[in-house]
Amino acid sequence: MKIQNGYIHLAKSALEDFRRNKVRTFLTSLGIMIGVLSVVLLISLGLGLKNYLKQQFESLGANLIIIFPGNISSSEEGGGLANFGAGFAGGANFDERDYESLKRSVEADYVVPLFMKSSVVESNGKRKLGYLMGSNEESFKILNLEILAGDFFLKGDVSARAKKAVLGYNLADALYEKPEDAIGKTIRVADQRFKVIGVYKKKGDREQDGAAVVPYRSTFGTLNPDKTFFTIYLGTINEDKVESIKIQAKEVLLKRYKADDFTVTEQSELLSTVNQIFNIVNGVLVAIGSISLIVGGIGIMNIMYATVTERTKEVGIRRAVGATQKDILKQFLTEAVMLSVFGGLLGLILSSLIVLGIRVFFPASINLFSVVITLVISSGIGIFFGVFPARRAAKLSPIEAIRYE
């Protein structure tokens, strides 16, 4: 009761002061608010990006081996990370010959080449930016696609270079009144026309849902003049075979390319590399955000020094009626922490609103960790930057303080 009474008095006294200096209180909290806002936003965007990538990978079937140009896992980890960006740009250009030789010599259940290109798809008088994916009939299995209407194309369609297309739900939905209406219609991509024979169900993956999948051979020509693939997937039903398939695939490719020109990796490996990169990027971003938190803390320290000077006489009065140095220290520290936490909460509320806003486009999320860290960091800053002014107040000589005008 007694202690509670003491803290209520402290909080009330601080609130009273905030009420009298609304603008000053707001401006002081603003620094912390911006700091917390940037840190929380960066964390949630980072988390969102990570979730997004994870979703992308997980939408591919299990036991998937991915072959792509460039090298992300060369001997040393650091080098691997550094080469990641360059890896996608350079390296081998896979073509039908690689696809065929992999198909011949590797024990995989599925071998799926993938050509991918963002393209404007036209039909029904509408134009929509989507993706053109050139692949084979096994791609539907390996990508876990389920038919909504019509059919997938078949092996024969690939060899016959059939001008057939299977549309993603979102693309079909954007071009026609109902996605099912797409069946039998013709779409145009660049100068090529394809007949829609199927629409597959929504996957929750933006690229896949906005794609038109066509037989890869049908893209050869104006759409894919080099006749290359962006990546080749190998799938197996038997999980134990994953390692041996990887070795076999490497052997096949080494006959034609240098080790640094391609990467054979599993989904889980790739995911952990991506995670590593994002942890580093996130760390750097949060460190940058923290600078504004420190600046905010300095703002609080500055104002608290001014407050101590302004209330020197009050300190003297309180000491005369029995306040200890610790009581005075507590009073100013409470005020600094309240200012800081107030700013932190404002920042949290604002960043939650922003995250809610961007969720429409991007799976950003605020988790309990962000909330806890916000409160811990903002009260920590309040304590750290508040303790110096508060100590100055506590150390004032009561007599000099009382006489201060």
Partner 1 sequence: MIKLENVCKSYFLGEEEVKAVDSVSLQIKEKEFIGIQGSSGSGKSTLMYLIGLLETPTSGKIILEGKDVSKLSDDDLSKIRNRKVGFVFQSFNLINRFTVFENVLLPTKYAKSGLDFDPVKSAEELLKRFGIYDRRNFFPNKISGGQQQRVSIARALIMKPKIILADEPTGNLDSKTGDEIINILEDLNKDLGVTVIIVTHESEIAKKTKRKIYIKDGRLAEKYL
DSSP 63: S
Among 101, 327, 362, 363, binds partner 1 (CB under 8 A): 327
Q: Judged by CB under 8 A, does residue 17 bind partner 1?
A: yes
Smallest separation, CB 403 to partner 1 (Å): 9
User: 49 or 317, CB closer to partner 1?
Assistant: 317
Is 22 near partner 1 (CB under 8 A)? no
Q: By rule CB under 8 A, what count of residues binds partner 1? A: 25
Number of other CB atoms surrounding residue 365 within 10 Å: 14
Q: Is 318 in the site for partner 1 (CB under 8 A)?
A: yes
From candidates 288, 298, 320, 349, binder to partner 1 by CB under 8 A: 320
Candidates 323, 329, 345, 396; binder of partner 1 (CB under 8 A) is: 323
Q: Which of 160, 294, 317, 375 binds partner 1 (CB under 8 A)?
A: 317
Of 10-18, 60-68, 107-115, 153-161, the window that binds partner 1 (rule: CB under 8 A) is 10-18
Distance CA 83, CA 66 (A): 17
Tabulate helix, strand, coil % of the chain (nearest 5). 60, 20, 20
| CB closer to partner 1 out of 12 and 193 | 12
Smallest separation, CB 405 to partner 1 (Å): 9
- Residues 277 to 316 in contact with partner 1, rule: CB under 8 A: 313-314, 316
Give the CB-side neighbour count of residue 65, counting CA atoms within 13 A.
28
CB atoms within 10 A of CB 184: 9
Write the DSSP string, 143-169: TT--EEEE----HHHHHTT--EEEE-H
Closer CB to partner 1, 17 or 109, in the complex? 17
Q: Among 326, 353, 361, 368, indicate the residue that binds partner 1 (CB under 8 A).
A: 326
Residue that has been written with the tokens 């997004």 in this structure: 52
Position 138 contacts partner 1 (CB under 8 A): no
Query: H or E element: which one contains 32?
Result: helix 22-58
Q: What is the DSSP string of 263-306?
A: EEEEHHHHHHHHHHHHHHHHHHHHHHHHHHHHHHHHHHHHHHHH
Tokens in use for 309?
A: 């000077």
DSSP one-letter string for 210-225: TEEEEEHHHHBTTTBT
Considering only residues 196 to 215 of the shown chain, the ones binding partner 1 according to CB under 8 A are none
Interaction of residue 325 with partner 1, rule CB under 8 A: yes
- CA-CA distance, 39 to 45, in Å (whole number)? 10
CA dist 245 and 148 (Å) reads: 33
Task: Say how many C-beta atoms besides its own lie within 10 A of residue 276's C-beta.
Answer: 14
Give the residue, chosen from 186, 222, 324, 367, that forms a contact with partner 1 under the rule CB under 8 A.
324
Q: How far is the CB of 275 from partner 1 (least distance, A)?
A: 53
Q: Which stretch binds partner 1 (CB under 8 A): 257-265, 318-326, 347-355, 378-386?
A: 318-326
Is residue 9 part of the contact set for partner 1 (CB under 8 A)? yes
**Least distance (Å) between residue 305 CB and partner 1:** 19
**In this structure, what are the phi and psi dihedrals at residue 164, rounded to the nearest 5 degrees?**
-120, 150
Query: CB-wise, 193 or 395, nearer to partner 1?
Result: 395
List interacting residues with partner 1 (CB under 8 A). Answer: 2, 5-6, 9, 13, 16-17, 20, 313-314, 316-327, 398-399, 402
